[in-house]
Homo-oligomer: A and B are copies of this chain.
């Protein structure tokens, strides 16, 4: 008779301990914010303001950076469903339109990522002084490259991503900040009218991107 009581008890214990272990997750589908990316191999630092719409599979990125003492600025609109990337130059009303053949990737922790640990950035003693985060690592199946991710434990908001080459050298270090859920102005995903008549150039060869950071 006792065994009948024990089975549901063991099961519920097993389930509750399973539930405590964080699961890979997708970030909120509408996000706006900023990131800095550092690409040591190219001595490149980039600051980006981005709008990200996982429903429509649209991304708009304003990127500014410095590459070997040369500053640059790029305004790019990526429409993944339509398979088009726009490089927009408002100052002279021109547009470079390129076919976009890479699939859209959600911001988030890949389903096959490995949970490392949970930590509090700052202090857990008083509200507003700390942030509970999860650390993950894994390997991109297609490229065999390694990554290390830090996402918030609640809400799956990206904080830091480190991408490594197959030789375990750091290739891209990204930190996200000032994120808000939602899109303030949905017009950011509509290309300006001076882009309409521009011909589409063929897609760039060898373009593999884990996220929109690599698509600049």
CB distance from A83 to the nearest CB of B (A): 30
A128 touches B132 (CB 8 A): yes
Is A71 interfacial (CB-CB < 8 Å)?
no
User: For chain A, what secondary structure do more than half of its interface residues adopt (helix, strand, loop), or is it mixed?
Assistant: strand
| Contacts A129-B152, A130-B179, A131-B130; A157 near B28 (Cβ below 8 A) | no
Pair A155/B123 contact, Cβ less than 8 Å: yes
Residue-wise interface mask of A (33-44) relative to B, using a CB-CB cutoff of 8 A (1 in contact, 0 not)? 110000000000
Contact assessment for A154 and B129 in the assembled complex, using a CB-CB cutoff below 8 Å:
yes
Using C-beta atoms within 8 Å of the partner chain, give the interface range for chain A: 20 to 34
State A95–B37 Cα separation when bound (angstroms). 46
| Chain B residues whose C-beta falls within 8 Å of the C-beta of A154 in the assembled complex | 126, 128-129
Residues of B within 8 A of A194 (CB): none
Contact assessment for B120 and A179 in the assembled complex, using a CB-CB cutoff below 8 Å: yes
Contact with B along A135-178 (1 / 0, CB 8 A): 00000000000000000101101110000000000000000111
Cβ of A121 < 8 Å from any Cβ of B? yes
Q: Which residues of B contact A121 (CB under 8 A)?
A: 121, 131, 159, 176-177
A181 to chain B, nearest CB (A): 4
With A121-B177, A123-B152, A125-B182 known, 9 other A-B pairs at CB within 8 A are A28-B123, A28-B125, A119-B177, A122-B155, A122-B157, A123-B157, A129-B131, A129-B152, A130-B152
Interface residues of A (CB under 8 A from B): 28, 31, 33-34, 119-126, 128-132, 152, 154-155, 157-159, 176-182
- Considering the complex of A and B, which 3 residue pairs feature the smallest CB-CB distances, nearest first? A125-B181, A129-B155, A123-B179
